[in-house]
Amino acid sequence: MLQIDGLTWIVTIGLILGLLALDLILAAVRPHKVGFGEAVAWSVGYILVAVAFGVWLTLAHGGDFGQQYFAGYIVEKSLSVDNLFVFVIIMTTFAVPEEHQHKVLTFGIVVALIMRAIFIALGATLLSLFSFMFLLFGLLLIYTGVQLFRHRDEDPDVENNVVVRTARRLLPLSTEYDGGKLFTRVGGKRVGTPLVVVLLAIGGIDLLFALDSIPAVFGVTDEPYLVFAANAFALLGLRALYFLVKGLLDRLVYLSAGLAVILGFIGVKLILHWAHVDINENVPEISTPVSLAVIIGILVVVTVASLLKTRNDPSAKAHPGSLRASRPPSEED
């Protein structure tokens, strides 16, 4: 077991909150279109922070826990790229002005961290109390992987999201943005701007991604501290990564298929762990180094194959994938 004292937890959370606060301050004080150079600098900076944390963890607590952290970080980072696809769709669907996309993304990261913290606490508690939760988590990931693979060439229906539909039904909303304001006045009445719907859509999507990503990272480490750190550092770089690669996302045509395979692989790993603990010790387990090698290998193959595909077929376009078939357009649409 990884022994983490209260002070280490406080320092880690303080570091994450400090980086988040910096993002929020920059978004609020200087709304602007984020250029390529700025996005590269922030992306490299966040990756270096995550790597430095992993090096410290390895030196302080041993190579095994360091491998678990890096495996969890890579899993969460790869899944977060799928988040970016959906964020791009949301920004496009609601025509969010570029100077306010920074603010929207930072809000999305804050909500995602809160969601994941809640699910990490619940997941860790359930795993400590009931070993069969490894079986349930494994089956959930396999089901998710199968669904994602089946609908790998589709986009999620943002407009038909239950959170968006509810907001449109219950809240008075304007059709125009008013700078970066959430609320404005139209005809003397206080109404929400489209930015309210955008933030609610981001929050709803974050909830769905948390339901998948937390069982996935528990598949490579069952240490709550490592699960939290891997999620936090992967998400912190999401805003900068969005501005860095949003023009390249369309080329990752096989990413959804690759993520589906990764989720299925981790699901099998969790089921084997449950069988090893609860049924027979002779049931083989998949070690962390093997998991790390398989995940990296899949991502490399997916990336290379995607780039080759789009080079040979420029019309090929990537999709984030969906867990269910898209709603067919009705006659009223």
How far apart CA 23 and CA 101 sit, in angstroms, is 12
Of the candidates 172, 210, 209, 214, the residue with the CA atom closest to the CA atom of residue 194: 172
Query: Within a domain: residue 16?
Result: yes
Interval 51-72: pLDDT, tens: 999 999 999 999 999 999 999 9
208 exposed, middle or buried (CB, 10 Å; 0-12, 13-18, 19+)?
middle
pLDDT confidence band for 256 (50 / 70 / 90): confident
Residue with the larger pLDDT of the pair 86 and 271 = 271
pTM: 0.76
Tally the domains of the chain. Answer: 1
Interval 120-166: pLDDT, tens: 888 888 887 777 888 888 898 898 889 888 888 877 766 666 767 77
What percent of the chain is modeled with pLDDT above 90?
Answer: 14
Query: Within a domain: residue 331?
Result: no
For 183, phi and psi rounded to 5 degrees? -130, 150
Of the candidates 5, 59, 85, the residue with the CA atom closest to the CA atom of residue 259: 85
Show the domain range for 104: 6-312
Query: Within a domain: residue 230?
Result: yes
Query: Within a domain: residue 226?
Result: yes
Find tokens 């984030």 and name the residue. 320
With vertex at residue 155, the alpha carbon angle to CA 323 and CA 260, rounded to the nearest 5 degrees, is: 45
Overall residue count recorded for the chain in this entry: 333
How far apart CA 110 and CA 316 sit, in angstroms, is 33
pLDDT number for residue 90: 80
Interval 298-327: pLDDT, tens: 989 988 999 899 888 888 877 767 766 655
Interval 78-129: pLDDT, tens: 887 777 777 777 877 778 887 777 777 777 778 878 888 888 888 888 887 7
- Residue 156 gets the label, from left (phi > 0), alpha (psi -120 to 50) or beta, of beta
For 77, phi and psi rounded to 5 degrees? -65, -40
Residue 190, SS3 per DSSP: strand
pLDDT number for residue 38: 77
Q: What is the mean pLDDT of residues 255-264?
A: 87
Cα atoms found within 13 Å of the Cα of residue 101, Cβ hemisphere only: 24
Query: Within a domain: residue 53?
Result: yes
pLDDT number for residue 68: 92
Interval 197-227: pLDDT, tens: 888 888 777 777 777 778 888 888 888 899 9
Query: Within a domain: residue 329?
Result: no
CB atoms within 10 A of CB 67: 20
CB atoms within 10 A of CB 152: 20
Query: Within a domain: residue 326?
Result: no
Helix, strand, coil percentages (3-state) for the chain, rounded to 5, are 70, 5, 25
3-state SS, one letter per residue, for 93-136: HCCCCHHHHHHHHHHHHHHHHHHHHHHHHHHHHHHHHCCCHHHH
pLDDT confidence band for 331 (50 / 70 / 90): very low
* Distance from the Cα of residue 68 to its chain's centroid: 18
Q: Which amino acid is at 55?
A: V
pLDDT number for residue 247: 63
